Amino acid sequence: MSSSSDDRIETRVIHGGQAIEPVTGAVMPPVFQTSTYAQPWPARHTGYEYSRSQNPTREALERCVADLEGGCEGVAFGSGLAASATVLHTLPKGARIVCGDDVYGGTYRQLERVFRPLGHHIDYVDLSGADPVSSIPEGTDMVWLESPTNPLLKVADIRAISARAKAVGATVVVDNTFATPIFQRPLELGADLVLHSTTKYLNGHSDVVGGIVVAGDPAHAEPLRFLQNAIGAVNGPWDAWLTLRGLKTLALRMERHQQNALQIVEWLQAHPDVKAVRYPLSPADPGYAVASSQMSGFGGMVSFVLDADLARAERFCALTRIFTLAESLGGVESLLELPASMTHASVPAEERLARGIEDGLVRLSIGIEHAEDLIADLDQAIQRSRDPDSAHPPA
């Protein structure tokens, strides 16, 4: 069992960065559930001394994701936010960060309430369709972007942004959680670091919390590896093992997520109660041209604006039967959430509305159930939500 860079990604999700366990011949990487390792002599060991610093199960996950992203090294953490915080800790005091204006609410909260008070300067810019030269000025230390973004699914030109960032000496970080390496590989487009919440599509079963950063160059990997050990926000071996297990079916799952999403997008676009639909690989989407140039597909993330006020939008979300109302995404089951009340509630209302996150914006994570069942579920919830008495918040 081994993987080559010449193998297609459907093969590498199963074998990438992994080998037969040498002692027992186990086909699957074992769970090394240990905190420490015996040393035959003081300060002489096999390369493993303490599981915060090294764990073979976590390392197997790191190697696999690094292989899929085409990077030199992966560094795994206990959550996506632990991964992003560690990346930001590599910056010098008073660093200048250009961040996409549409990002995960937890990222925004971290930037505003943790790193801005430390003296960092943060500018939020619409990086979709913007001129990179004017958006990324001289003196920028880091460019942080999601593409597609959360929750508006806006698309940034990673090639153009990376070229400009390199011209001014800035590091480019791309959160690739939504697209996954199945459909987009930012390092090949010029990015320096790729970040994932492994909680989402990489694991794919809503039973793990984790994060990972993949570096394209050892110079970017070295400080992350130091901070992983020094700060200690690592994931445990069982979480790493479950994520590695989920990765085996990533290519199959992403294909089904996309098939279902395309059918649902077509249905939503024709619905009279829907004002707008966002899906980057729909020809009607404003990001279609750029998405088509840098993505080979897109999974199950769909955002749409229900022609409704906040109260009706909340009723709609509470009335689905198959879609589960929950703050996550990327699992085999279909989820939905209302950014205004949930994932982006930490963004001030005035700023949220200015960014285009309307009260009626709904984010769907399309699972791998039958598409017709999912459409029927959305249809009945939209119809029932018209009645103000159809649903009420729990007492």
Question: Given 7, 37, 48, 52, which residue is catalytic?
Answer: 52
Residue 72, classed as helix, strand or coil, is coil
Distances (CA, A) of 32 to 29, 58, 245: 9, 9, 15
| Helix intervals (H) in the chain | 9-15, 56-69, 80-88, 105-110, 132-135, 158-168, 180-183, 218-231, 237-247, 250-269, 288-294, 310-319, 349-354, 371-385
Beta bridge partners of 278: 303
Rounded distance between C-alpha atoms, residue 324 and residue 299, angstroms: 18
Q: Is 200 a catalytic residue?
A: yes
Question: Given 175, 192, 273, 359, which residue is catalytic?
Answer: 175
Listed in sequence order, the residues at least 6 apart from 370 whose beta carbon sits closer than 8 Å to its beta carbon are none
Question: Given 154, 200, 278, 312, which residue is catalytic?
Answer: 200
Per DSSP bridges, beta strands 121-125 and 96-100 are: parallel
Rounded distance between C-alpha atoms, residue 237 and residue 60, angstroms: 10
| Three-state secondary structure string covering 76-121 | EECCHHHHHHHHHCCCCCCCEEEEECCCCHHHHHHHHHHHCCCCCE
Q: Is 116 a catalytic residue?
A: no
Question: Given 96, 102, 104, 359, which residue is catalytic?
Answer: 104
Q: Are 63 and 214 in contact (CB under 8 A)?
A: no
Radius of gyration of the CA atoms of the chain, in A: 21
| Residue owning tokens 């919390």 | 209
Listed in sequence order, the residues at least 6 apart from 88 whose beta carbon sits closer than 8 Å to its beta carbon are 97, 110, 111, 115, 120, 142
Q: Is 93 a catalytic residue?
A: no
Q: Is 48 a catalytic residue?
A: no
Q: Catalytic residue numbers?
A: 52, 104, 175, 200
